Amino acid sequence: MSGQPRRIVILGATSAMAEATARLYAAEGAALVLVGRRLDRLEEIRADLLARGASAAEAVAADLARPDAAADQLAAWAGPQGADAVLLFYGVLGDQAQAERDPAIAREILSVNFTSAAEWCLAAANLLEAQRRGALVVIGSVAGDRGRQSNYVYGAAKAGLGVLVQGIAHRLALRNTGARAVLVKPGFVDTPMTDGLPKGGPLWAKPEAIARIVRASAQGGGPVVYAPWFWRFIMLIIRLVPAPLFHKRPL
Amino acid sequence: MTGFQATSELSSWGRVVRARQDVVRPHWRDQLAAAVEEAGARPEGGLAVGLARSYGDSGLNSGGAVIAMSGLDRVHSFDPATGVVRADAGMSLDALIGLALPHGWFPAVVPGTRFVTLGGAIANDVHGKNHHDAGTFGRHVRRLALRRTDGSVRELTPDDPSGLFAATVGGLGLTGVIAWAELQLSRWAGAFLDSEDIAFRGLDAFFALSAESVRTHAYTAAWVDCTGRGRNLGRGIFSRANPSPDPRRTLHRPPRVSIPVDAPAALLNPLTLRAFNAGYFALKAARAGRRQAHYDSVFFPLDAIGAWNRLYGRAGFYQYQCVVPPASARDAVAELLAQIAASGEGSVLAVLKTFGALPSPGLLSFPMEGTTLALDFRNRGEPTLKLFDRFDAIVREAGGRLYPAKDGRIGAGMFQAGYPQLAAFAPHVDPGLTSNFWKRVKS
C-alpha cells in the first residue's frame, strides 16, 4: 500500500449514500471506481469527485443486478494494485403490494437485493482473501430485522444478505486473512429512494451521516453496524414485541 | 421525470407566508431538464428555490410548481491553481468553502449565511461586508448556464450582448433556472481575519468611521442599537477586518445548537429588545479592540444556531432592508432609526453598512452606492405593516430602494420607484416562471 492512494470499488455509485461516502474518500485523495447502470450520471459524480480531491475516478457502466462473471469483473475493477475496500450500495425498495400480487415483481426485488448482491459479496470475499487485506462493506437495512407487512419482501432479501455478510465476516476473521466484512444497517434515510415517504423527525438521517458510518466501518468495527447507532435499540425492541401484540399494529 | 409532490412544508425564512406548492427535488441533470419543462407547462408556473433563506416571498410560488435545487450540488471542475470553480447551482456556499479553503481560496463575496446555494446567491446578487471592495456576488460570476422552460439552455457570460446575463444576475430566478455557474474565487492565506471592533455614539461617528475604514479594510459593517433614543440614537459597534496572513486553514463546524420549537410570541417584545440591545452594546463596547477571528464568527454568526428563525414565534417575522444613496443617507437613516426607536420594535441584529461605488452587474441588483440598513421585526400584523409604510415613505423620498430577497409586502409602485431598469428586465422573464413576489410587484 505504501504511498499509493487507497483504491475503492463502489457498487451502485449513484445511490445518495454511495455518493456521500465517495466524497469522504475523495477528500482523502483516494482512487475511486464507480460502478452503476447510468453512465451519464456516473460521469456527473466522477467530475465532482475529481474536483473534491480524488486522485483518480473511473466510471464503469454495468447492470449489477445481473452479474456476469462477477469475479473477473471485480478483479478488473480492483486493478493490479487491488482494492482497499469494496462497498455495495445498490438495491431497490420495490412495491410490497405489487410483489404480493405479481410473482415477477417479488422475484425482481429478491433477485436484485439478495441474489445478485450475494454474488458480488462472494466474489469480493474471494478477492479480499486473496489480497489478504481490504474491507467489504454492504448496505443492509433494519427492515431485515423483523418481517413487517409493509415491506417484508424487501426485508427478507436484506435479512438474507445480512446473514451472508456475517458469514463472510466470520470466514475472513477465522482464516486470519487480514480482510474484513461489515454489514451497515441504516434506518430511515433521506434519499431519492424514499422520496415517496413523508420525511422529517428525529429518526430520519441524512446520507452524509450514513456515509461517515460506512467510512468508519471500512476501517474497523462490525460485523453488524446500525446507522445511526440508536437503531440497534429500536430494532431490539421491535424484535422483542410478542407476535400477538405486534400483529395488532399496521407497521 | 414527474414526481412533483404537494407540500406546505416549504416556507420563507421569515415564515410569514406559508404556501401549498408542488415540489420536485431533482438529483441529476436529466431530471432537472424534465422538471423545468414540466414546471413551465403548469398554469401557475414554476420557480427554482435553493435553501430558502429569502425572508419574504420571492422564493415562493403558491399553488404552483417549485423545483428544489439543493440535490444538484456537484462540482464540475475546480482548478486549485487559478481558483476557478464550476458547479451545479444547488451547491451551497457552505460546501464551496469546504472545497476551496483547504486550497487557499474563498468565495469573493459571502452574505450573512453559508446556507445559500450558488443559484440563489446569483439570483439575488447577494452582497457581503466587503461590498466597497469586491462589489456583489454577480461580479465574480464568469459564466452560467440558464435552462429555460421552453427546453433551451443558454450559456451566458458577463459580456452577453442579449442582456440575459444582466437580467439573470439579481433576477430573482425569473429569467430561467440557473443550472450551473462558474466563479472566480479569492486568494486567502488561511481561515482567519484580523478584525477590530470600535464603539461609536451617533450616526456622524458611524459615517466618519465608515469613510475611513473603506480605505483600509476589506470588510466593514456596523451593529446599531435600534432601541437607542436621545443621546443613544445611532450608537453601535463598528466592525472592520482584513484577511489574516495566518496560514491555518481550519474549516467551520456544522451548527452546534438548533432551535427545536417556535418560541413564545412574547419573547421578543419592546422591553426585552431594549434590555438586549443595551446589554449587547455594553458588552461589545467593553470588549472593543483588535483580535484575530475565524471567518465563521465574522461572516456567519447566526449560522451557529440552527433554525434561529423560530425565535420570532409562530407568526414569523419580517426583515426590512433598504439602501439610500450617499447624498440623502445621513438624514434618511437618522429618520428611520428615530422611527424604529419610537416604535419600540426592531431587532437584536440591526446592521448598518456603506455600499461602495462598484457597479452591480444585474438589472435588478439591490446594492447601489449608499448606506444600507437591515433589521428584523416580529410579525404583529397590521401595526407592523403600518410602520413599514412610514419607512417606505422615507426611503422613497431619499431615492432609495428595498431588497427583494428580504421583502414580503411592498407594492408595485414602491418596487418600480426603486428599480428604474425594470422595463429592461421584464422582456427577459421566462413566461413559464413566476413567484409570489413577482405576481405582486410586476403590474
Q: Of the listed A25, A90, A152, A154, which one is catalytic? A: A154
Question: Can you give the pLDDT at residue B227?
Answer: 87
Instruction: Indicate if the alpha-carbon torsion angle B152, A59, A52, A26 is positive or negative.
Output: positive
Going by C-alpha positions, the residue among A140, A131, A128 that lies closest to residue A168 is: A128
CB spacing of A44 vs B29 below 8 angstroms = yes
Return the percentage of chain B with pLDDT > 90, whole number.
76
Residues of A in contact with B85 (CB under 8 A): 51
* pLDDT at B114 (0 to 100): 95
CB contact under 8 Å between A40 and B75, yes or no, is: no
The answer on B143 and B27 residing in a single domain is no
Are A51 and B25 inside 8 Å of each other by CB? no
In chain A, what percentage of residues exceed pLDDT 90? 81
Spell out which residues of chain A touch residue B4, defining contact as CB-CB under 8 Å: none
Range A206-230 average pLDDT: 94
CATH number for the segment(s) A7-247? 3.40.50.720
Q: Tell me what pLDDT residue A108 has.
A: 96
Is the per-residue pLDDT at A2 higher than 60? no
- Does residue B438 form part of some domain? no
Q: What is the ipTM of this complex?
A: 0.88
The reply to whether residue B74 touches residue A45, judged by beta carbons under 8 angstroms, is yes
The residue extents of the domains of chain A are 7-247
Please check whether residues B153 and B216 belong to one and the same domain. no
Nearest by CB to residue B77, choosing from A40, A41, A51, is A51
A152 is catalytic: no
Over residues B53-75, the pLDDT tens digits come to 999 899 999 999 999 999 999 99
Chain B residues closer than 8 Å to A41 by CB: 28, 30
Q: Which residues of B touch A52 (CB under 8 A)?
A: 75, 78, 99
Using alpha carbons only, what angle is made at residue A92 by residues A89 and A93, rounded to the nearest 5 degrees?
Answer: 120
Each residue's pLDDT tens digit, A102-145: 999 999 999 999 999 999 999 999 999 999 999 999 999 999 99
The confidence band for A1, taking pLDDT boundaries of 50, 70 and 90, is: very low
Q: Where are the alpha helices (DSSP H) in B269-411?
A: 270-286, 295-299, 326-343, 382-397
- Of the partner residues A16, A40, A51, the one whose CB lies closest to the CB of residue B75: A51
**pLDDT above 70 as % of chain A:** 99
Task: Please state, in angstroms and rounded to a whole number, the distance separating the CA atoms of residues A207 and A12.
Answer: 14
Least confident span in A43-47, A149-153, B8-12, B33-37: B8-12
How confident is residue B1, by pLDDT bands cut at 50, 70 and 90?
very low
pLDDT tens string B211-241: 999 999 999 999 999 888 888 888 999 999 9
Assign B264 a pLDDT band (cuts: 50, 70, 90): confident
Q: Does B260 score more than 90 pLDDT?
A: no
What is the band of B414 on the pLDDT scale with cuts at 50, 70, 90?
Answer: very high
For A16, the closest chain B residue by CA position comes to B27
Q: B319 with B375: CB under 8 angstroms?
A: yes
Q: Is A44 in contact with B74 (Cβ distance < 8 A)?
A: yes
Residue A67: pLDDT band (50, 70, 90) is very high
Mean pLDDT of A148-175: 96
Higher pLDDT, B420 or B255: B420
In tens, the pLDDT along B348-365 reads 778 999 999 999 999 999
**Higher-pLDDT residue of B123, A5:** B123
Mean pLDDT for the stretch of residues B394-422: 95
Residues B324 and B351 in one domain: yes
Q: What mean pLDDT is predicted for residues B390-417?
A: 95
Can you give the pLDDT at residue A201?
A: 76
CA closest to B28 among chain A residues: A41
CB contact under 8 A, B77 and A45: no
* CA neighbor of A150 nearest in space, from A231, A96, A94: A96
| Structural domains counted in chain B | 3
| Residues β-bridged to residue B44 | none
Q: Is the pLDDT of residue A38 over 50?
A: yes
Sign of the four-CA dihedral B268, B269, B275, B281:
positive
CB pairs under 8 A between A and B: 34
Residues B404 and B372 in one domain: yes
Whether pLDDT at B388 is above 90: yes
Q: What is the mean pLDDT of residues A236-250?
A: 89
Instruction: Please report whether residue B439 resides in a domain.
Output: no
Give tens-digit pLDDT for A81-100.
999 999 999 999 999 999 99
**Chain B nearest C-alpha distance from A43 (Å):** 10
Confidence band of A168 (pLDDT split at 50, 70, 90): very high
Torsion, Cα A213 A218 A222 A228, to 10 degrees, reads 10
Give the per-residue pLDDT at A103: 96
Grid coordinates belonging to B153: 439552455
Residue after which a domain boundary falls, among B51, B68, B85: B68
Instruction: Please provide the average confidence, as pLDDT, over all residues in chain B.
Output: 93
**pLDDT surpasses 90 at B108:** yes
Eight-state DSSP code of residue B172? T
Chain B residue with the nearest C-alpha to that of A47: B76
CA dist B337 and B225 (Å) reads 9
pLDDT at B8 over 80: no
Task: List, as ranges, residues 96-125 from A with C-beta within 8 Å of B.
Answer: none
Question: Do residues A6 and A31 touch, judged by C-beta distance below 8 A?
Answer: yes
- Cα–Cα distances in angstroms (integers) from residue B117 to residues A202, B329, B430, in the given order: 25, 31, 21
CA angle A205, A210, A212 (to 5 degrees): 130
Q: For residues B196 and B230, state if they share a domain.
A: yes
Instruction: Look at B99 and A47 and tell me if their CB atoms are within 8 Å.
Output: no
B130 in any annotated domain: yes
For A48-107, list the strands marked E by DSSP. 56-61, 85-88
- What confidence score (pLDDT) does residue B2 get? 61
Give pLDDT, residue A251.
Answer: 79
Non-local (6+) Cβ contacts of B320 within 8 A are B373, B374, B375, B376, B377, B388, B391, B402, B406
Q: What is the pLDDT of residue B257?
A: 78
Pair (B200, B317) in one structural domain: yes
Instruction: Give the end of a domain, one of B68, B87, B103.
Output: B68
Q: Which domain holds residue B204?
A: 192-414
CATH of the domain at B91: 3.30.465.10
> Is the residue at B443 inside a domain?
no
CA distance between the termini of chain A:
48
Stretch B116-134: mean pLDDT: 98
Residues in A touching B87 (Cβ below 8 Å): 51
Which element (helix H / strand E) includes B322?
A: strand B317-324
